[in-house]
Amino acid sequence: MAEADSFLDSIVEAIHERHGFDVFAIDMSGFPLTMDVFLITSAENRIQGRAIADHVERSARATGSRLHHREGYEEGSWILLDFVDLVVHIFLPETRSYYNLEMLWSDAPSMKFEDEGTDGSRNAAE
């Protein structure tokens, strides 16, 4: 995850600016997949999830990154934003709990980000 720290940090900041919470990154670089990082967050409702997605897209464009693919925006319980090396998953809490990507990929290195209102530092997940 170290190589993409700047982009990752800007996306986490964008998520927090729209009050996304429980932000969690999973390092996927050790798996035969096309992306390096899954970034998972929760939103209180579909409207907030879409607001987070819109703001993440704008923030990514500001860094020179472009969205490759988006899914689930209209339905809104699980929005996926694919930036090729970084895939952002925005979940409603019940959908996140059901799919439980953190448990599915629990053998991958991960990092939990402090929620908004804290000092903004990162804590390594155990």
Q: Is position 25 within any domain? A: yes
Q: 2-54, pLDDT tens digit by residue?
A: 445 799 999 999 999 999 999 999 999 999 888 899 999 999 999 999 999 99
Q: Is position 124 within any domain? A: no
Output DSSP code: residue 80: E
Q: 64-85, pLDDT tens digit by residue?
A: 999 999 999 999 999 999 999 9
Token pair 């929620």: residue? 115
CATH number where 31 lies: 3.30.460.10
Please give the tally of structural domains in the chain: 1
What predicted TM-score, i.e. pTM, was given to this entire model?
0.87
Asked if 91 and 77 touch (Cβ cutoff 8 Å), the reply is yes
Domain that holds residue 102: 2-113
